[in-house]
Structure 1
């Protein structure tokens, strides 16, 4: 493939404004909330009562289990299954691990496990360590030094961690005037910087998170003028990015949960600041319906597009928060018609069987960075444990990145030996195929893939039978197809090529799993008997 042709095809489905803003940002230009506008936050007006603690998600047991608080006391930080020893004076700017790991380091989510340990045990070491980490960041990361610390997306995530930490420990921190003043001064500076550097070139979840952060900080500082500018923009992005079926438009179940958490945080802040009517536009009911439908009865985040099970808060914590704070009771939907996901469920002798099938488009044309070649792919869970799976993501900045995006890293169909989409760089897609749901019922679903260029069409039908899973693939047009199936465990006997493939249910770690690839043909039909086991490892 010609690199020039790939660049051109990638640029063709971007918005002209994205290209213009990318060039402008590269030249050092600002991307303000509004032309000529700069917030003037008054740190003295900061009020943590406007940002209530959401303990249901701040102290989500699944989230807390990702951190070792005693290791943090020993200056060891594990993120995304990788640990680094920290020198809190120097490590903020060190080339540790990967860029994604360094982003997560600057999110400061690990302040919340330290807060919980302090509240549970009353051991002041945990509180002192958390405060020391914040102090060290403020000292080591002045605005003029820039870098990862002042990346707009990083700011958008870190301010949530700081405010949650502050709210959860209000009783312990309110008497420490010096520390609170330092936090407020830094938050004010981050607020102003973010308002001048919105990610209008990337858009998608980055831009939504920028606007969410501005809305929360505007409420925190009592800055009504900035809130009046940011709120309509945030609501417009929610309207565009959260589909009517509740899925985030980048079609990643992981990012859907991240966005749901942050919209709930923004909604509760708006409500407690007297702007609750605006939160009605955040589609919380639809998002909870989507999450419940996708994850009811299973043990991990489904792996479609960029996804991992060790990033977002858990299903149970998010749905608990939605119920307790907003009275949302989720409803199950077997077809998410806007995103193209279909869910089949059946009680069998082997246990509860669930299939999640992707028959939608790859994502928004102008934001394809998280797309995988997973059209017509599916995951099958038995008694909550994954059985037939997609391979996941593993990492964003790694030599294996593109391998995990390939068609045969998913339980799906390849046409004429060609990748479904041209994923040619870690976050770039040139030409792409598209899918559609053709029919769906309680235990049967049929979807179609139109290969990029419209050269041919593949139809896949999946049937949940009493004792096993039936998958029928048929090519409409010239050529041949190969059907791949990746097994997390309990590999059945089947015809075809059998090999090993890397399977990464979480970021930062993978293991070898078995893959069966059918021989090239015009059509395939396979039947896999359900395994019988109680619970599977992920």
Structure 2
């Protein structure tokens, strides 16, 4: 019991005061349904359609009442349960987002019927109002009614009421990407319903949060390439419709375009030549727009990547030659007050060779609290060193982090990088230092653990397409791609693991576990054929 209390203290102490006060406020405030917001305003609002020039389509609604989210399909048999939790909260959230409003093979009337149906659930309290799904559904609805000239008064009244709810329930208890999404939505709502207070409040939040959340190298501060893509789309979407709005603020639009250019620059660097992103922290394929799609959308807007940026504050570094591309993570768990999408992965790396994934993270397949989520956030699921089967950082509870490994970069030159972290110091009085040396045909990794007599394991998670063979006591062969030779290895072992291939999808793959004491040198040589 005492250990759990101490873990909670180590977690909560990183929160901002505004988060704590809003956590308490949210627990004490009365629960209200959508009717309360409709009745309180008691008006019949008209709306001013927004002009979107960027178009895209979705494919979530298969046929009838069958939906597919996160690689799981479900048929509701003509009666949709908008609070359906069988596949977890994230699947239900996707149902509530209404991304399928942009699906061309679904009729406009069918989409309106779905909006009216969920509105009944929200008005009667069968479905609880929550800011994040409200924000995303509202933005989708604004795009839908604007592009299809929807005049249904029920839909418009309920949309206004959802914005009124959002205005009073911005997610200050979470901050991070949630508050940003809230602000993007409220800014839309302020313009479509001509509400000056909503416009100004949202603009202030967007100024403040984008300044903080977009780092000096263009990366998003939650350090997930997937969430970076999600937020980048929102910035591009803002640039799109706001550019077409009469009387727009030139200074704010310029600010948004600058942030978009920086984010594009970061994404251009971090993306592999085949279009993949490294799945550091909570990242997965098939959730949002790909890098190439985002580059295409930006090009249509005339927004070009900032090519002057170099990877810095986000904690990532990328190295490449003809034979390979390698991204290294020497960043901290971040941000300190919202680490929910962070993993225990200090000094990890992801490697591609000639467009093919070779060494990869185990990935993210679920947000459901449990064994799978715990594993995917653990040190054991990443390509770094695990000491005594212990996580570098105290990841727990699905989205929480207690004590965090602090990373220090000690050398950062053109083809070499050295960093260390103190994640094992409290428990084992040990520091892990890792040096990467990159050359045209090889990568050398030097690991040092400052204390002896500890069980240390260097982990190499290979993609499912790789055939890995141990040769002797100090060497492995990876197809005809490369060999890895080890100095000071005690034992090599190949273990099976499940590689996340998107949410709720897995591939069978192998992880090479290299046991050592205190020091290990790993040299990967690439074949030139």
* TM-score, normalised by the number of residues in structure 2: 0.86
**Distance in 2 of aligned mates of 1:307 and 1:42:** 43
Q: Tell me if 1:314 matches 2:290.
A: yes
CA distance in 2, matches of 1:153, 1:186: 16
Q: Which residue of 1 aligns with 2:132?
A: 153
Alpha-carbon deviations, 1:95-140, whole Å to 9, x = none? 331111000111111222x22x4xxxxxxx5444333322322233
Secondary structure of the corresponding residue to residue 240 of structure 1: helix
Question: Mean alpha-carbon deviation: is it higher for 217-226 or for 442-451?
Answer: 442-451
Query: 1:519 Cα shift?
Result: 0.9
Q: 1:379·1:411 contact (CA, 8 Å) conserved in 2?
A: yes
Q: Secondary structure at the match of 2:457?
A: strand
Determine if contact 2:45/2:157 at 8 Å carries over to the other structure. no
Alpha-carbon distance, 1:246 to partner: 1.2
- For the 8 Å contact 2:385–2:459, the answer to whether it is kept is yes
After superposition, where does 1:175-254 map in structure 2 within 5 Å? 177-178=151-152, 181-254=153-226
CA distance in 1, matches of 2:188, 2:527: 48
Aligned in 2, Cα 1:510/1:43: closer, same or farther, shift over 3 Å? farther
Q: Aligned pair 1:329/2:300, yes or no?
A: no
1:91 aligns with 2:73: no
Which of 423, 433, 450 matches 1:476?
450
- Give the Å deviation of 1:375: 0.8
Conserved 8 A contact 1:253-1:303: yes
CA displacement at 1:152 relative to structure 2: 0.2
| Root-mean-square deviation over aligned CA pairs | 2.6
**Residues of 2 paired with 1:187 and 1:95: CA distance?**
24
> Partner residue of 1:536?
none
The answer to whether the aligner puts 1:487 opposite 2:466 as a matched pair is no
Partner of 2:94: 104
Secondary structure at 1:177 match in 2: coil
Give the corresponding residue for 1:288: 264
Aligned residues: 493
Does residue 375 (structure 1) correspond to residue 346 (structure 2)? The answer is: yes
* Runs of 5+ consecutive residues of structure 2 not aligned to the other structure: 33-38, 471-475, 477-490
Note closer, same or farther for the CA distance 1:142–1:96 as it changes in structure 2 (3 Å cut): farther
Structure 1 unpaired stretches of 5+: 32-37, 118-124, 534-538
- Give the deviation of 1:164 after TM superposition: 2.7
- The alpha-carbon deviation at position 477 of structure 1 amounts to 4.4
The C-alpha deviation readout for 1:22-80, integer Å capped at 9, x for no partner, is 1110112699xxxxxx99697644122x341422xx24xxxx4xx365x2x23211110
Structure number having the greater helix percentage: 1
For structure 1, which segment, 442-451 or 409-418, has the greater mean C-alpha deviation from structure 2 after superposition?
442-451
3-state secondary structure, aligned to 2:396? strand
Contact 1:416 1:479 in 2 (8 A): no
Take 2:167 and 2:278, find their aligned partners in 1: how far apart are those partners?
34
Cα shift at 1:452: 5.5
The CA distance in 1 between the partners of 2:42 and 2:227, in whole Å, is: 30
Which residue is 1:47 aligned to? 48
Query: Could you tell me which residue of structure 1 aligns to residue 65 of structure 2?
Result: 75
Give the conservation status (yes or no) of the 8 Å contact 1:30–1:197.
no
Matches for 1:289-438 after TM superposition, within 5 Å: 289-331=265-307, 333=309, 335-348=310-323, 353-399=324-370, 400-438=372-410
* TM-score after normalising by structure 1: 0.85
| SS of residue in 2 equivalent to 1:519 | strand
Alignment check: 8 A CA contact 1:88 1:136 kept: no
Pick closer, same or farther for the CA change 1:398–1:13 going to 2, 3 Å: closer
Residues 443 and 465 in structure 1, CA contact (< 8 A), matched pair in contact too: yes
